Amino acid sequence: MDKASSEIAAVAARMVVEDGLEWGAAKRRAVQQLGLGPRARLPGNEELEDAVREHIDIFYADTQPVELAALRRLALTWMERLQEFRPHLAGAVWYGTATRRSDVYMQLFCDDPKSAEILLIDRGVRYEPRTVPGFRGDPVEALSVQSHSAELGETIGVHLLVHDLDELRGALKPDARGRTPRGSLDAVRKLVQQEAEA
């Protein structure tokens, strides 16, 4: 990674951790803040993840593990509520880089894409529908809810990305670092249990 790309990663990492920005937005804002031109080479997601972990280790090592555990417990609550849709936790909460500023992202794999939305309506859950890029770049429906975390004393965004059931197999292929990019309900339960025992 060249010097400019390293600087972008460091500034973007601070924005991700402290402001809860999405990675793409943080990279673009870091380029602007550093006064670099549009041709500046952006760091890859792996480079940014390393910078985020370093920023957490330096500035938030005492608070981040507690915040991450609270977010994982909140995610588990939603996964249990939505277990019929085969929920899988993704993003910073799954990978372990989340802080109290992070939102929870999970993918649902449904026989009928409208069934998750109908369940939220039936249970009186307020949500905001929108379309976002899926894990392969294709548009998917996202149902965004606001969920209060008593542990954190904050309202956390929980984003449910609705996929067709046929996409589940492809969703579990390892990422560039050989890790499982999403965690099933059982995997998240194990993580929460391990954190409770630690």
Looking at the predicted structure, is the pLDDT value of residue 3 above 90?
Answer: no
Overall number of domains in the chain: 2
Residues 193 and 130 in one domain: yes
Domain boundary among 25, 44, 59: 59
pLDDT of residue 1: 59
Joined together, the tokens standing for residue 138 give 């294709």
Mean pLDDT for 127-145 is 90
Mean pLDDT for 8-30 is 94
Residues 105 and 187 in one domain: yes
Looking at the predicted structure, is the pLDDT value of residue 135 above 80?
Answer: no
pLDDT of residue 94: 96
Mean pLDDT check: name the lowest of 25-39, 68-82, 83-97.
25-39
Residues 191 and 101 in one domain: yes
Residues 174 and 85 in one domain: yes
Query: In the predicted model, what is the mean pLDDT of the chain?
Result: 93
53-88 pLDDT, tens digit each: 999 999 999 999 999 999 999 999 999 999 999 999
Residues 46 and 84 in one domain: no
* Backbone CA torsion sign across 160, 166, 172, 176: negative
* Residues of the chain above pLDDT 90, percent: 78
Mean pLDDT for 32-46 is 90
pLDDT of residue 173: 84
- For residue 123, what are the domain limits? 64-197
Residues in CB range of 100: below 8 A, 6 or more apart: 67, 70, 71, 152, 154
Instruction: Give the β-pairing of 128-133 and 104-110.
Output: unpaired
User: Three-state DSSP class for 151?
Assistant: coil
Joined together, the tokens standing for residue 102 give 């992070």
Residues 104 and 184 in one domain: yes
Instruction: Give the β-pairing of 88-90 and 128-133.
Output: unpaired
Residues 43 and 92 in one domain: no
Residues in CB range of 42: below 8 A, 6 or more apart: 5, 8, 27, 31
pLDDT of residue 172: 78
Which long-range contacts (C-beta less than 8 Å, at least 24 apart) are formed by 129-137? 132/159, 132/161, 134/161, 134/163, 134/167, 135/90, 135/107, 135/171, 135/181, 136/170
Residues 40 and 114 in one domain: no
Residues 97 and 174 in one domain: yes
CA separation for the pair 141, 138 (Å, rounded): 10
Joined together, the tokens standing for residue 191 give 């993580």
Residues 70 and 115 in one domain: yes
139-180 pLDDT, tens digit each: 999 999 999 999 999 999 999 999 998 888 877 788 888 888
